Structure 1
């Protein structure tokens, strides 16, 4: 399976869940509910001795509903940026060598890093 297909499958799984955001119930940290209307999502089972881990697990699950879409959006932005860069460089990403001049390669990689940083930041900020 390609990375693109895996990312698409992840997005389908996210989109198949109850709309977020989710939160850990303030009165019962074993419960995960939707923020606002309190629609029940899941209940965690753990012994009292496991309480710190249970709370961490609950927080992780609750935040995954909003964190994962943001991460997928960032990866989509990176993927789109790489495609655009490849088009503008006549297929540079498909070649083993970018160029014989190390200085030129370093400059190219600096541009790549800057453009990817902007793409990821923009996606995470929801712009």
Structure 2
């Protein structure tokens, strides 16, 4: 059973790059003889049993295969096949190693971009949380609906203070939709980390516009009288202020995006 090799450190990758640069320039090829195999730079076959080359890199002998105690009982055909496989590996390493190093560089750059996307998504999710908080505390003060904790949800409490029980379920659905969008953003982060390809491109301005629409939908237009009528007017005014603030932020976000292009 093979042992899993540790991930290469930057220092080890630098050592590999140094060895690759110092080695004879390629391309390398190999010649498979009856009892030996030659690895050489710019190897070209001139006939079935002869070739030209710029520089010989290594010669392998089939008898060396028997140095491994596990191969003492091998026949000549097995030894010759192993010798050819080793020569083929050495010859192709001249191109395989640079290709693998280039792929490592590409994946490293992709990881850096994914880290930036992760930071962006997390900041935008936090902004949504802040907007929802402002909306909730515009409906009722913190002394009434409390703070976020494992046993308290001020967003849910704010909904209970907005309107009748029949409409609370609808408002909870709207808040739940906003919360689902935040959860989907977090899911996108996980997908980015596993696939290394998914881009997180969430528009701050679009999210603020959506939040403003949600805020305006919270206004109440039921016919009421007495203290409830005054409370309803006050609630609607507070909700409109929050919606206006969201519109202002969305406009700033669009302006900043246009300026950065």
Distance across 2 between alignment mates of 1:63 and 1:14:
13
Establish whether residue 10 from structure 1 lines up as the match of residue 39 from structure 2.
Answer: no
Partner residue, 1:88? 117
Establish whether residue 34 from structure 1 lines up as the match of residue 41 from structure 2.
Answer: yes
Contact (CA 8 Å) 2:26, 2:94: kept in 1 or not?
A: yes
Q: How far does residue 6 in structure 1 lie from its aligned partner after superposition? A: 1.0
TM-score by length of 1: 0.69
Distance across 2 between alignment mates of 1:21 and 1:12:
18
Q: How far does residue 111 in structure 1 lie from its aligned partner after superposition? A: 3.3
| SS of residue paired to 2:61 | coil
Partner residue, 2:197? 115
Change (3 A) 1:69 1:91: farther
Q: Which has the higher contact order (CA 8 A, sep 6+)?
A: 1
Q: How far does residue 3 in structure 1 lie from its aligned partner after superposition? A: 1.1
Establish whether residue 54 from structure 1 lines up as the match of residue 83 from structure 2.
Answer: yes
When Rg is computed on C-alpha atoms for both structures, the one with the higher figure is 2
Distance across 2 between alignment mates of 1:22 and 1:65:
7
| SS of residue paired to 1:30 | strand
Q: Could you tell which deviates more after superposition, 82-91 or 49-58?
A: 82-91
Partner residue, 1:66? 95
Which structure 2 residue ranges, 5 or more long, are not aligned? 1-7, 44-51, 64-74, 122-181, 199-261
Distance across 1 between alignment mates of 2:192 and 2:116:
15
Contact (CA 8 Å) 2:114, 2:196: kept in 1 or not?
A: no
- Count of residue correspondences: 108
Distance across 1 between alignment mates of 2:80 and 2:186:
52
Distance across 1 between alignment mates of 2:57 and 2:188:
49
**RMSD over aligned Cα atoms:** 3.0
Q: How far does residue 26 in structure 1 lie from its aligned partner after superposition? A: 5.3
Change (3 A) 1:78 1:42: same
